[in-house]
Chain A
């Protein structure tokens, strides 16, 4: 009890200093939480890819080279009974923009019949699936994109693709994929795109990549090799990777965001340590005589040591809690939650990241108090008392 009262009084005896230190810890922790949320987002994105047991089949020499759509039948023929390969889905990148708006869209033209089976994480309702299958102009819009453009189910939108046929195409929004993992991408039917390509006289029957959904992890490994063997020495050889490897290539090429943000997070934690250490050493200096008195009264070295550690821990924990809570609140409950970030799309701050930040702030507290508490432990009472005025 005595310890707690002493701790409390210590923290409020210089309220301003306590407040400033909390803020100086809270702000770097905030940056830590924000940058780690991005890193975490990338990892979650990749983990989802890994969980889905999908293979991505692309052209061997470059991602931008298309593959013939007929490859789908050949891949399917590897497993006629559909035991290992559940479904194969071809996709073609369309990109696109709407008229008079510079914001680019990520539209993919997807094989209509196998989309739902291959990408169960879109979690379309049975009605939406029915609409998707019925309407050739169906469009599934990610919820963040829908929010940005103010679109809702039932709207008609005209998108002009960034690749052939470059023509304006009208779509009917049948779903805003509220429960999908991916809140950005727009999915339309590939048969509609094919029709448009033929109409405008562009080469058709080509896809950018195939996604192959497998039944088990063993099948993923087996067909990864088997598919490439199937097309070996053909005009268009393939490169098959599991989806996680395929996606992480995208992520690292774009500024290598995870690595850079981790460095930034480390620097900010370092800054927080320095700021907290500064306070603790100032506290120690101000209280040298007090500590000497305590010791001379018979309070052991452990008492002063733990007292200083506890003060520092509490200080940093409060700062850390504020620093973690503010971005959590901002990106969970305010309009900021629809803010989209390159690569990882929507910034979702998970409680796990906040917990991590709290642990880090505890560590900051410990490190910041190392020198003062050690010095207090070793303080020679006689020497300290002698220097008293």
Chain B
């Protein structure tokens, strides 16, 4: 027969200070874990929804991102020969030449600091290829005008990007572009960008050639053939799925995850030691009580379970508290400078269900690892000896 849960619960309050200190230790570890994981989750979420499976992005071989790539017009002429390119309703080939440059803009929350924001020059057709892009305020820019639409994340984080504001762009920062719209794209990386007509960008940045070409295939099944064609001798450029391109950009996330795992692992082991310490003290302080329980018929197993449950109670409560604290940062916007594109990528910190599950299992691990040895020791209490001491 197991001991009633109520027994464990009330025992926690016998040693209030110890319980509280252990609680704080575990809560702090969970807090660190969930914050670090939510960083990784935020970046991953933003890059995961970027890109569309039927799209293929074409860069110059060797270039690591759109911003370091250059594509010549004759190369574009060869790209459009690729098999399987889809057409829109009016019969235009779905090929978007894009020009990626950057602008240095002050941050909204800290005007002293600046950020390198990506500026993408696109033609009207670009809106067709980037499927998720949807204007939430204002209108699209007119072709060839000095007008921009800005991503929602950029609009929120950088100063001077409100609807109707004028923003200075161009190689010499001397062209006034008017913000005429704000777009959303389901939280993808594009939301950190500023979009302007390609010709205006080319002119303002003295750039003759475009950076990349995006093509849409009629069907996701046609993608491998198109990639093979473009990578082959016919075009000799570097094509990859748009989704893969963004996946490659997220290498930094993997670094964070690795670092997180190491740091949190060390901390978790430390916390397990702290829990073990508390539980040993609890066992030592209750020898007589345990002997009494054994006398009135509770089995060794029941005693082990009782201590494990007690430890689980503290750690789970601490974990929930830690998660609650981490929810405070949920949804806050952060950004980082991608080392591949050299532009900032804004993302939202996300405390995902996975993060919660991982935190809970970490807390459970800490609770069990810390309490197992003390619980076994408790179950081995010599009944007669312990009772005689009374």
Chain A residues packing against B (C-beta within 8 Å): 16-17, 20-21, 23-24, 26-28, 30-31, 34-35, 60-65, 95-97, 104, 160-164, 166-167, 202, 235-237, 252-255, 264, 267-268, 270-272, 274-275, 277-279, 281-282, 285-286, 342
* B window 249-285: CB within 8 A of A: 252, 255, 263, 266-267, 269-271, 273-274, 276-278, 280-281, 284
Contact A31 B263 (CB under 8 A): yes
For B28, what are the chain A residues with a Cβ–Cβ distance below 8 Å? 267, 270-271, 274
Mark B155-187 against chain A: 1 for CB-CB distance below 8 A, else 0.
000000000000000111100000000000000
User: Which 5 pairs, one residue from A and one from B, show the smallest C-beta to C-beta distance?
Assistant: A27-B270, A166-B62, A278-B21, A275-B274, A253-B337
Interface residue from B18, B60, B277 paired with A24 (Cβ < 8 Å): B277
* Residue B221 CB within 8 A of the other chain: no
For A35, what are the chain B residues with a Cβ–Cβ distance below 8 Å? 263
Chain B residues packing against A (C-beta within 8 Å): 15, 17-18, 21-22, 24-25, 28-29, 31-32, 60-64, 67-68, 70, 101-104, 113, 115-116, 170-173, 252, 255, 263, 266-267, 269-271, 273-274, 276-278, 280-281, 284, 336-337, 339, 342, 344
Q: List 19 A-B contacts (CB under 8 A).
A: A17-B281, A23-B269, A23-B270, A35-B263, A62-B102, A64-B67, A160-B62, A162-B63, A162-B64, A166-B63, A253-B344, A254-B337, A264-B32, A271-B24, A275-B277, A278-B21, A278-B22, A278-B278, A285-B15
For B63, what are the chain A residues with a Cβ–Cβ distance below 8 Å? 162-163, 166
Contact B273 A254 (CB under 8 A): no
Contact A104 B270 (CB under 8 A): no
> Complex formed: what's the CA distance from A237 to B271 in Å?
56
Q: Which residue of B lies closest to A327 (CB)?
A: B266
Additional A-B contacts beyond A95-B64, A202-B70 (16; CB < 8 A): A20-B273, A20-B276, A20-B277, A23-B270, A61-B104, A64-B67, A64-B116, A166-B62, A253-B336, A253-B337, A272-B270, A274-B24, A281-B17, A282-B278, A286-B284, A342-B255
Given contacts A61-B104, A166-B62, contact A17 B263 (CB under 8 A): no
Contact A27 B102 (CB under 8 A): no
Given contacts A16-B280, A264-B263, contact A97 B62 (CB under 8 A): yes
> Complex formed: what's the CA distance from A21 to B278 in Å?
10
Contact B267 A281 (CB under 8 A): no
> Complex formed: what's the CA distance from A262 to B223 in Å?
46
Q: Which residue of B lies closest to A65 (CB)?
A: B171
Given contacts A96-B62, A267-B28, A274-B21, contact A30 B266 (CB under 8 A): yes
Contact A28 B267 (CB under 8 A): yes
Q: Which residue of A lies closest to B170 (CB)?
A: A61
Contact B21 A277 (CB under 8 A): yes
Q: Which of B102, B103, B273, B276 neighbours the largest number of chain A CB atoms within 10 Å of its CB?
A: B273
For B31, what are the chain A residues with a Cβ–Cβ distance below 8 Å? 267
For A104, what are the chain B residues with a Cβ–Cβ distance below 8 Å? 64, 339
Shortest CB distance A171–B (Å) = 15
Shortest CB distance B260–A (Å) = 10
> Complex formed: what's the CA distance from A60 to B270 in Å?
50
For B255, what are the chain A residues with a Cβ–Cβ distance below 8 Å? 342
